Structures are given as C-alpha cells and as structure tokens.
Amino acid sequence: MNKEDKLHAMRHSAAHVLAQAVLDMFPEAKLGIGPVIADGFYYDFELPRTLIPEDLSILEKKMKEIMKAKQRFERKVEPAEKTFEFLKEARQPFKEELAREFAAEGQEISFYENVDKNGKVKFVDMCEGPHAEDTGKIGAVKLMKIAGAYWRGDEKNPQLQRIYGACFETKEDLQAHLQMLEEAEKRDHRKLGRELEIYMMSEEVGAGLPLWMPNGAVIAEELEKLAKEVEYSGGYDRVRTPHITKGELYEKSGHLPYYAESMYPPMEMDNEKYYLKPMNCPHHHLIFGGKMRSYREMPVRFAEYGHCYRFEDSGALFGLMRVRSMCMNDAHIYCTEEQFQDEFLAVIDIYKKYFEIFGIEKYEMRLSLHDKEGLGKKYVDEEKLWIQTEEDVRRVMKKSGVKFSEAEGEAAFYGPKIDVEIWSAIGREFTLATNQLDFAVPKRFGLTYVDKDGKDKTPLCIHRAPLSTHERFIGFLIEHFAGAFPTWLAPVQVTVLPVSDNFMDYAQEVAAELKAEGVRVKVDDNSESLGKKIRGAEKMKIPWMLVIGEKEVAEKMVAARNYHSKKQEVYGKDEFKKMVLKEICERSLPAKS
C-alpha cells in the first residue's frame, strides 16, 4: 500500500471511529454516509438534538479512547435479506436504503466490525472499505466543524448534521495543516476583499455579481495590461463581442443542449430568444468565418477580455471564486494539424511565464479525457477523433516537460482539455483555468481555410484562458499575497506621509513627480500623528510609505519604508523614483522581510 492509499485508509477508518463515538454518545443516532475527503473525512448523522461546538471535544476524546484500544477492523459479507433485516433491527433507515439500492444493482454488500482484544464487536458499519489494520493505526485526528446537509443532497430529504474531521499520518503533519488553515483564514479573499476595498457584493444587484471598487478595478486593469502585452508578443489579435446573442448561435455551437442549465434564461423580443453570453467561443468562430482564409494566414489567434454570465447554483457561489458575472482572459487559436503542437506548447509557455511573474512555484496540469459511456450525451459522438486528439495532447504534454496527470470523464463536450491546478504561497490548492482542444465545433460552423493544395480544410481550435477570469484569479492573488500585492499590482503603490502640515508642499511635489511617471500615489493630508498615518498605510498594505519631515525637505530626500521587507532607507528624491519605476516595470515580486 503506497502512502496515498495508506492515508485514505486511515481517513476512512477515522470516519468509522467518529460514528462509533457518536453512537456511544447518542445511541439513537441514525447513520448517513462517512466518506474520505481532502485532508480528512466527514460523517452525516440524524441526532436527537442539535450539536454544539463543545460536543466536538467530547467526541474527539471518545475517538482517541477508541484509537488507543486498537480495535481490529474485520470485514464481513452477508446475504442481502440478512443485511436488510439487520439494518432494520438496528434502526438505521439510511443505511437500509443504500443497501437495498446496492442489492438491486447486484453489488456485494460488506460490513466492517470493530473488534476489541477480547473478540467483542464494539461497532458495525456497512462499508466497502478499505480500512487500517486497527484503530491504533489511524494517525492524528482532529474534529473541525459541524454543518447541515440534506440526505443525499436533496432538500426534500431529512436534514442531517455533518461532522468534519482532519486526519493525517503524524501529529506534525496535522499541526502543519492546522497552521495552514489558520493562515488561510487570515488570507480569506472575502475578508481581505472588504478590508482592502477591492470588491463588494450587494443584494440589490444579485448573488454572484461582484461590484469592483476602485482598488479592485486597478488590479483587474493591471492584469489585462499584462495579458495584452504577452498576447501581443505572441501574435494575438484582439476582438470584441456583444454581451447578448440569439439562441440560434448556441444551438449551432452545441452549447445549449449541454449547458442550458448553467445559462441565464432567455429574453424574448421580436419573436427571438436572446441569451446573456456564457462564453466567447461561438462569437470568435463567427469572426474567423467572416472572410475567406488561406493557409498563409494560419494560425489565427483571437483574444478578448469578454464579459460572460453563467447561472451558477446558489449553493456553489463563493466570493470571487464562483460567480455569475465574469470577465474572461479568453482566446481562441485556429491552426492546422501541423501547427497544433507548436501552438499548444506556446500556450503552456504562457502559463509558465505567468507562474514565474506571480511567484507560483507549485502547479500541476491534468489531461481531462472523455468516457465512452457519455458519447452522444455528454460528449460529441466522434470516438475516433477523441482517441486521436487525446493522444495528440498527451504527446505534447510529455514534450512540454510539465508534470501532468489524467482524468477520465472530465473533458469539454467538444474535445480533451488541460485543467490547471496551482498552489498558493501557503499551500492551498486552486483550480485556475483550462487549455482545450476543439475538434468538433469549427466543423459545426463550417470554418475552413484554403490549404496549399487549394482544398478547403477545417482548422483545429485551441481554447485557452491562462489568467482564468478576473474574479477567480484576483481571488487567488488576494490569498496568495495575503492582500500585500507586489508594487506593480498594488492599487496604491506609494503613499506620502508628511510629519506635519509644514512639510505638505514638498510632499505634494514628490507625489506630483511620481504621478507624472505613472506611479499610483496618494498624499495622506490628514491632521493625524505620523504613527497613525503609518498604521493606516500598513492596514491597507501599501508597498511604499514615504515619510517627509524637516530633514527630508532640507536635503530633498525621502525616508522610504517598504511594507514587505519592513526596512526603512533614505533615498534621494530622484533615486527613489528611479528605483520604484524599475520595480514596477520589471513586475518584481515583493521583497521578503
């Protein structure tokens, strides 16, 4: 058993121990399900009363007693009728419901018994396993929180109480995880988004529809500026498309049959149905097909920061990470089969360039494949093309040298894709964006180019969005940098702090010179103490604070304090301007303290 499988078995076993502890505390408890999740496990229960946070410590103590007892996990398989009878007598209706479904599908129904040193059965749960050898080999466990959950996720069913737990192989690993969670809470983009005046949500506008405040607009514009520079050097042409479109376009592209539930309902005018745009690709296809194309033009690369709208389920909405209004760093590359490898590798290189700029050291890419069962339903019914294009992408990924894994059943409906996973500075995992190969939709749109032999051929299309959406990526960056952005990305790059009004003229002079060079600078002209001005600037995580006093005015200097390094140095006025402009121009990462 490898380390990953061993940890999975530990976490599965910990869920059983939790259920055992709950039944010890509440003998009448009804058991739901208790699966393994990232970093631990959870278990759902129907209980005689609502749990309170203090119950977690009691249950955790009971769990540790069970773990210390080293009860063995023993697997048993029983005939279906005997299973139903046992679960009915045990008054476990949720387990009985599952057992009857498994039996109807012809599945084997297994149980695991927790057996003490004297051979006495202490707990029994219906489960397919696997488990640790005994409860003493579970590792380190901590119960984390209580939540509500409908049985089987259906609000028509009873609401159960869900207990989440963390489980790691060692106490040291568990402690590191808890410290990461504590740091993640401090970096929560929803909390910092409010405090740093980056974005806000309003019930008057609607759920999942963020309002960008001035500071957030600056960050979004800087990201767009970066993307435009990278795409210009990569040979992309910029296009613009409308926010609404006739439904016929999405019927043609195939999006309506597959994604209607994720789209806003249509608006009906002049006997036509119009939809808010959920994606940019159909519009780019129209632009490509708007004129005759020659092989000499290929590849054609269209880029757009197109605003899209998707009606995400309300339960899935989460700050900037899952929204209903999004501005996508989108582009579509139309190329020949011979050009595909170079174009796909060039997109991977763009990702790597961005990772370097933002200090993203850990990342992984996942090749998402189709599954045969979904052909004609979830995926375009072109089995040979699926196999061919998946192998093409696999070959290119191997050549790129980037670490990747594969996942069946996760492809886009029109072709295989690369999903990009990144990790923040504190080790939190985020799904960033996708890089997709489309072999089907260009054909639907009748897109062609005249090849060297004079014949019309259908191009391949690569969909890519390396910076994801403004919303998701800015949410990630807030947490990655803990709101303390590098100078080039910071909404306010420099704040000038005169010690008193006597030095205001020079402070305004310094600010004016910086502003003339394009630096985002503000003068704190409040009649407060210098200490309070510094605390205010630090609260807003402004990279540079320039303190102006009598000495600075006399010598035409600035006392510059850096938020990131916590160092304070005296610079000549022009010397500081040159230094900060270099930092901005090079898009340098923050200096470490």
Name the residue with tokens 């389920």. 313
Cβ density class 312-337: b for 16+ within 10 Å, e for less:
beeeeeebbbbbbbbbbbbbbbbbbe
Going by the DSSP 8-state scheme, the letter that residue 279 receives in this structure is -
pLDDT at residue 3, rounded to an integer: 82
Question: How would you write 120-166 as a 3-class SS string?
Answer: CEEEEEECCCCCCCEHHHCCEEEEEEEEEEEHHHCCCCCEEEEEEEE
On the 0-12 / 13-18 / 19+ scale of CB atoms within 10 A, 537 is: buried
pLDDT at residue 374, rounded to an integer: 58
The helix (H) or strand (E) run that includes residue 60 is helix 53-68
pLDDT at residue 367, rounded to an integer: 84
Q: Which CATH number fits domain 3-178: 3.90.226.10, 3.30.980.10, 3.20.20.80, 3.30.420.40?
A: 3.30.980.10
pLDDT at residue 262, rounded to an integer: 87
**Separation of alpha carbons 265 and 238, rounded Å:** 29
CB-based contact 122:135 (threshold 8 Å)? no
What token pair was written down for 132? 């640790």
Residue partners of 350: CB distance under 8 A and separation at least 6? 230, 234, 464, 466
Rounded-to-5 percentages of helix, strand, coil across the chain: 40, 25, 35
**Separation of alpha carbons 214 and 491, rounded Å:** 8
Domain boundaries, the chain: 3-178, 192-243+277-480, 494-585
Mind listing the pLDDT tens digit of every residue in the chain (593 residues)?
678 889 999 999 999 999 999 999 999 999 999 999 989 999 999 999 999 999 999 999 999 999 999 999 999 888 888 888 888 888 999 999 998 988 888 888 889 989 999 899 899 999 888 899 999 999 999 999 999 999 988 889 999 999 999 999 999 999 999 998 999 889 999 999 999 999 999 999 999 999 999 999 999 999 999 999 999 999 999 999 999 999 999 999 888 877 788 899 999 998 999 999 999 999 999 999 999 999 999 999 999 998 999 998 888 899 999 999 999 889 999 999 899 889 989 999 999 999 999 999 999 888 878 666 656 455 555 677 777 778 888 888 888 888 888 877 667 666 778 888 999 988 888 888 888 888 778 888 999 999 999 999 999 999 999 999 999 999 999 999 999 999 999 999 999 999 999 999 999 999 999 999 999 999 999 889 999 999 999 999 999 999 999 999 999 999 999 999 999 999 999 999 999 999 999 999 997 76
- Supply the DSSP string of 217-270, one letter for each residue: HHHHHHHHHHHHHHHHHTT-EE----SEEEHHHHHHHTHHHHHGGGSPPPEEET
pLDDT at residue 413, rounded to an integer: 64
SS3 290: coil
**Separation of alpha carbons 164 and 494, rounded Å:** 44
pTM listed for this prediction: 0.83
- Taking CA atoms, 304 is separated from 233, 462, 535, in Å, by 15, 14, 40
Question: How would you write 472-510 as a 3-class SS string?
Answer: HHHHHHHHHCCCCCCCCCCCCCEEEEECCHHHHHHHHHH
Q: What is 192-243+277-480's CATH number?
A: 3.30.930.10
What token pair was written down for 227? 């993307």
- Closest to 243 in 3D by CA, of 305, 303, 307: 307
Residue 1's CB is within 10 A of a number of other CB atoms, namely 10
Residue 493's CB is within 10 A of a number of other CB atoms, namely 23
Query: Helix 80-89 to helix 93-104 angle, to the nearest 10 degrees?
Result: 170
Backbone angles phi, psi at 485, to 5 degrees: -70, 155
Question: How would you write 393-452 as a 3-class SS string?
Answer: HHHHHHHHCCCEEEEECCCECCECEEEEEEECCCCCEEEEEEEEEECCHHHHCCCCEECC
**Separation of alpha carbons 146 and 163, rounded Å:** 5
Backbone angles phi, psi at 261, to 5 degrees: -65, -20
Same fold, 3-178 and 192-243+277-480: no
Cα-Cα-Cα-Cα dihedral sign, residues 290, 248, 309, 440? negative
Which class is 494-585 in CATH? alpha beta
**Separation of alpha carbons 357 and 355, rounded Å:** 6
What token pair was written down for 378? 């979830």
What token pair was written down for 508? 């305004």
